[in-house]
């Protein structure tokens, strides 16, 4: 998220972050949003025990802040059907591997890098994709490859992948902003 904010502030991304929503009340994302003067909301199963109510609260916050595109950056929960429907084809996520490999439920953070190394992959990378109802199954918009080096641990691989995440996500968002990548409503 900070890489996206920094790209906006530096003029490398022609966008304005409108709102930050986190499912973790103590997240660094909310802290960073406050520091940057971006409205932030903690919305979760704790604040909204009914899944439909949570979905509606997320949708309401996004609509209230006139969001055009939703960029997930560390948001760890599946979005609800109302939010998915309203923003269909306009919700993006970043994944620390070359999808379709090493994606799906439970495949986040260090778990992804552990799986890549356990599978004996020679390369990993970063994928920016559209979000749909299934974890990590939406259309791929951009990827960058990162070699798996001899002696890599999940942690060393994660460090190199993260560097590329911070480059690829804002660059992909800028390509959307300039029309170089055209998003169409996914069916």
Q: Show which residues are catalytic.
A: 95
- The Cα–Cα gap between 54 and 83 comes to 10
What are 131's two structure tokens?
């979000």
- The Cα–Cα gap between 63 and 46 comes to 22
CA dihedral 156, 160, 163, 168 (to 10 degrees): -140
Task: Match 């966008």 to its residue by tokens.
Answer: 15
> Is the CB of residue 161 less than 8 Å from the CB of residue 113?
yes
The H or E element that residue 71 is part of is strand 70-71
Q: What angle do CA 44, 125, 119 make, to 5 degrees?
A: 95
Helix (H, G, I), strand (E, B) or coil at 67: coil
- The Cα–Cα gap between 162 and 166 comes to 6
């Amino acid at each position: 998220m900070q890489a996206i904010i920094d790209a906006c502030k530096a003029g490398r991304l022609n966008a304005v972050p409108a709102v930050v929503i986190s499912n973790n009340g103590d997240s660094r994302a909310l802290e960073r949003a406050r520091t940057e003067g971006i409205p932030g909301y903690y919305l979760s199963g704790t604040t909204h025990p009914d899944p439909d109510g949570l979905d509606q609260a997320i949708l309401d916050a996004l609509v209230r802040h006139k969001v055009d595109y939703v960029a997930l950056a560390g948001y760890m929960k599946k979005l609800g059907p109302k939010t998915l429907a309203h923003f269909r084809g306009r919700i993006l996520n970043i994944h620390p591997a070359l999808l379709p490999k090493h994606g799906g439920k439970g495949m986040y953070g260090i778990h992804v890098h552990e799986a890549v190394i356990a599978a004996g992959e020679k390369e990993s990378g970063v994928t920016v994709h559209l979000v749909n109802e299934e974890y990590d199954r939406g259309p791929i918009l951009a990827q960058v490859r990162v070699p798996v080096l001899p002696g890599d641990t999940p942690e060393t691989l994660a460090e190199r992948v993260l560097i590329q995440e911070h480059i690829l996500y804002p660059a992909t968002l800028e390509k959307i902003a300039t029309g170089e990548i055209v998003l169409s409503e996914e069916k």
